Amino acid sequence: MATETDNLSQPLQMKFPKKERLCGKVSVEKVFSSGKKARTGLLKCHYLPSGLDYSRILVSVPKKLHKRAVVRNLLKRRIRQAWRLGKAGAPSGLDIAIVYTSAEVAPYSTIEAEIRELTGKLA
């Protein structure tokens, strides 16, 4: 059984702190307008060097493809979790916007493989 102290001893790289989230209208518009693009089967990625020593990400699931908020939130949680666990292999110093482009709900294992493929393309 996990205790509260177990959560405190978790390494920082396994967490997803607020500073690693891309937010702000100016930053987001800059990534989409002048950033480079990469694509996998389910995900589209816009990225731009930020000059920081860590990467910041934004996750988007379009309402046009998934009408129900429950489904959009599920997919965003899966993408964030896959990123959190796989960000050690990703390059640092990037602002990254990840957009889910499939009309079907993919299982976590598929999303995790897509994130690994995407981080390989960013490196």
* Residue-range domain boundaries for the chain: 16-122
Is 51 within 8 Å of 93 (Cβ atoms)?
yes
Mean pLDDT to the nearest integer, 19-40: 92
The pLDDT assigned to 15 comes to 78
Identify the band that residue 9 occupies on the pLDDT scale cut at 50, 70 and 90. low
Class of domain 16-122: alpha beta
Dist CA 53 CA 10 (whole Å): 21
Question: pTM higher than 0.75 for the full model?
Answer: yes
Q: What is the pLDDT of residues 37-82, one digit of tens each?
A: 999 999 999 999 988 998 999 999 999 999 999 999 999 999 999 9
The pLDDT assigned to 7 comes to 52
Average predicted confidence (pLDDT) for the chain: 88
Contacts of 55 (CB under 8 A, 6+ apart): 20, 87, 90, 91, 92, 93, 94, 95, 96
The pLDDT assigned to 14 comes to 72
**Phi, psi (deg, nearest 5) at residue 95:** -100, 125
The pLDDT assigned to 16 comes to 81
